[in-house]
Structure 1
């Protein structure tokens, strides 16, 4: 291509600005090689009418031709940078007398384009689609917190690491135009003139400088509800995970290894490890919890040879152990090969606000039931015992109200829910199941969550009378909302017909309406895994092979432990 043809095709020298984008007067844009049926016809026509792009002297536009980095800079200049000053910083391979010198340096100064190591720009190199989209997203300052948008693209793995966040932003801003396959980004293929016209057109639409096309079938406009439920990240784990937890914001994830000898804290979104705490062989971690702000980790620890149980606290960012407090000596005959005594599963949780840690651990088992299991509240700052609540049940789930003043506990039997006033240590009330058929078949409370300081949502099961039971039916599942201050039932939903005998109710979301269910045999999760349901309509989500799951306190993220690692998801019902 000659320089004169090049200048003509790009409209160099024509003043254009985002503020005054109006169709050029007496401009004819009927290119002989862009028919009205061409997929990019309307994009090309609009930009040609605005003098942002032009055709060639022979009346063609050459929509399939590649475009160089210098040519792309010239288009950026016409569309966005008419008044931008030329940067004083120059690329070593773009001399001042080069035809695209001003456009390239304006694009660099405005943040649209950057060079390669060694201060070179490679102006004659064709620009890849991914580079063009990254340039527009960066130059216009677009960001996004929806990394799962990448999973819309069938070839997402081909997107370079440096470009992934910018491609997410470009996708959310509807800059991406994919032809012929909307689900394939083909990021590393060189961009054509037609594709660049479409990208730039959409950027101008996003900047409210031009109207969107009445019909734009190849613009990627993603409804988050239609996205495949793919993980934002997968955190590696060594074997099965015994325990896991998320900070309130969902930014940090703590996991306890299968061997109970290592605690790791990860940045959940990027799968970057923050810290690792490893035992010396003489200690074992029984359970672990992370603070709401993600800066502290607590664990109940058993130490040999005394089998002493202690509560330890660390600073996540420095790895420094802040304090350790004695809980007693584990008792029992059941020991593993290392000499550790089997301890019933412990409860450990930070109080909202992170000023205190609530723990419950049994020192032994009598007739199969945990014994001597007081609830104790410790000061996070000093490790001092703030409150000890004795004569309690051994709870398989404990929950704190958002203000940290109330404690709810479900015993292993599931026959009741105790509500405690934490500061005074007094029992406020007990909810008991009203339906009981016999000692083996009765109404059980399964899962609960505080949705406010006074409302508690509870999932429970009760058997259908024999005469009404279907051959393969499970117990009736009921979702209740209780006012814990008055003891009144506020809402009751029992129409959860899709639950069957292969489901296990695992965990309620913080909104109290959605729940993760462990599914043993249903085909849609391929033998076993987790799926999300609610009382209103099924949610198209499942995690094959998941065996443990947790929500963050805000309810916008959750993590599922699988044999492939811990998968981290956005929760967007």
Structure 2
């Protein structure tokens, strides 16, 4: 019988003498140590570059996902662990990890090999670790074609491609230091497993996103898309970008890594798109469109790969759609949220509504309206309210047990009176609200659950700034204007980088990609480059 390879004995501290603060996975490792998901060795080391055995990986999965307060794993799977579970031939009942392995098997994380063997002492390859988490947590989405972003994509086993695609879409894949190589069949190290698991915890809001040590925005764009856009948005993983052309005639879906145009969808005669969004999994697009001369405002959705319409619904008939229309998918892709502000009989009648992504059926029309943001867990809507005076506020609406949003609270108005507002829910569920006075920016972070102010940070702004953006990772922000130029800043470090031209801005959900339109095509006499969208990446040094 092979020698047992036990789980490491807990160290008394969450810091380890062989994991310095500048180590690339320091924050992942220390974060999981604080949660008691991983631990060190009696000599105070973590041994980050050592391989993880399949038995050790099962133990880590149990601590992270099947502890006293499990998340995401379906209840029926967890309940099934209480019943008798078939054992593996090479995992006797007295094996130190027998219970962990049995639970991980029943919960859908791990399976065995032919001959009913588990091979507990065998190092687990990176590909198996990633698809294990993706399968156990039910991750879906992404496109197999997107795996071409890896130089070693051909090395990914055929059986693992759907799981790796889903893991990539969920942003749990970490490739350090070569970002364009998956190295699927190399044994996963303890540092890499810590990074995979920590990012999965971030997805469920149990951990706050961390930036890899030394991560910084690279001023050289990874791609530049030859198009002028009235608006654009990323898929959750940042691999696809939807651009609405400035004439409102076309939706374009681009591969941000290669610059290839994936699909174009035309509005049709006498119709223009007033707002559009791409689903978080990058498989669908939805748009608000207005048709002349009836001024019928419609909402429609399409599948990207086939370019086929799913459905089309009439929202209203109006004199004109005075607001370009805001539209977004919920993070689980089950709902589409829209905000339009049409004119009817000379009066403004703004509308905010939710729709079923699958069939376009109306889910709810809210008795309020304004620009909005939705939390990653889908539990909160933040809505900017602009009364007739110069003040403004943010209302929070919360999902009730009936699956409908109801008013929860208003954030104290003294912190949201300034103009030039942007807001975004961070990946950890907190709400960031960025406002701008003539000379200063103020970033306030709120706890949506309690309405309590978490932090308040002054940011350098200029009265000419008309491009404002916030990153959902809670760190990056962007200001751009004709006088002060474009600046990309970090809340965490306080660093502000002068940046190339930026007229419109969008961050990816994970905070690792930035899209900038580098010119205003409507600006007369502009000396800036031909309008295009540049894609930038945050990478580790």
TM-score using structure 2 length: 0.54
Matched, 1:272 2:260: yes
CA distance in 1, matches of 2:216, 2:350: 47
Higher relative contact order (CA 8 A, sep 6+): 2
1:503-531 residue CA offsets vs partner (Å, 9 max, x unmatched):
34611100223211113223xxxxx4453
Deviation of 1:326 after TM superposition, in Å, equals 0.7
CA distance in 2, matches of 1:170, 1:288: 30
Q: Structure 1 residues 297 and 428, CA, compared in 2 at 3 Å: closer, same or farther? A: same
1:71-111 residue CA offsets vs partner (Å, 9 max, x unmatched):
xxxxxxxxxxxxxxxxxxxxxxxxxxxxxxxxxxxxxxxxx
Deviation of 1:456 after TM superposition, in Å, equals 1.1
Deviation of 1:430 after TM superposition, in Å, equals 0.7
2:339 is aligned to 360
Structure 1 stretch displaced more, 560-569 or 448-457: 448-457
State which of 379, 390, 393 in structure 2 corresponds to 1:405. 379
CA distance in 2, matches of 1:354, 1:362: 24
Structure 1 stretch displaced more, 444-453 or 477-486: 444-453
- Number of matched residues? 322
Instruction: Write the mapping of 1:140-179 to structure 2, written as runs, cut at 5 A.
Output: none
2:290 is aligned to 302
Instruction: Write the mapping of 1:41-80 to structure 2, written as runs, cut at 5 A.
Output: none
Q: Structure 1 residues 228 and 297, CA, compared in 2 at 3 Å: closer, same or farther? A: closer
1:130-185 residue CA offsets vs partner (Å, 9 max, x unmatched):
xxxxxxx98x989xxxxxxxxxxxxxxxxxxxxxxxxx969999xxxxxxxxxxxx
Instruction: Write the mapping of 1:281-430 to structure 2, written as runs, cut at 5 A.
Output: 281-331=269-319, 341-364=320-343, 371-390=348-367, 392-393=368-369, 395=370, 397-412=371-386, 415-422=392-399, 423-430=403-410
Q: Structure 1 residues 296 and 227, CA, compared in 2 at 3 Å: closer, same or farther? A: closer
- Which stretches in structure 1 are left out of the alignment for 5+ residues? 1-136, 143-167, 174-222, 332-340, 437-441, 463-473, 523-527
Q: Which has the larger radius of gyration?
A: 1
Instruction: Write the mapping of 1:106-255 to structure 2, written as runs, cut at 5 A.
Output: 228-237=218-227, 240-255=228-243
2:425 is aligned to 450
State which of 496, 502, 505 in structure 2 corresponds to 1:549. 505
RMSD of aligned Cα (Å): 3.1
Deviation of 1:478 after TM superposition, in Å, equals 2.0
Matched, 1:434 2:414: yes
CA distance in 2, matches of 1:408, 1:418: 6
Deviation of 1:499 after TM superposition, in Å, equals 2.6
Matched, 1:515 2:477: yes
CA distance in 2, matches of 1:542, 1:403: 33
Matched, 1:568 2:525: no
Local SS of the residue matching 2:500: strand
Deviation of 1:304 after TM superposition, in Å, equals 2.4
Deviation of 1:539 after TM superposition, in Å, equals 3.7
State which of 425, 430, 434 in structure 2 corresponds to 1:459. 434
1:14-53 residue CA offsets vs partner (Å, 9 max, x unmatched):
xxxxxxxxxxxxxxxxxxxxxxxxxxxxxxxxxxxxxxxx
TM-score using structure 1 length: 0.52
CA distance in 2, matches of 1:228, 1:555: 13
Q: Structure 1 residues 389 and 569, CA, compared in 2 at 3 Å: closer, same or farther? A: same
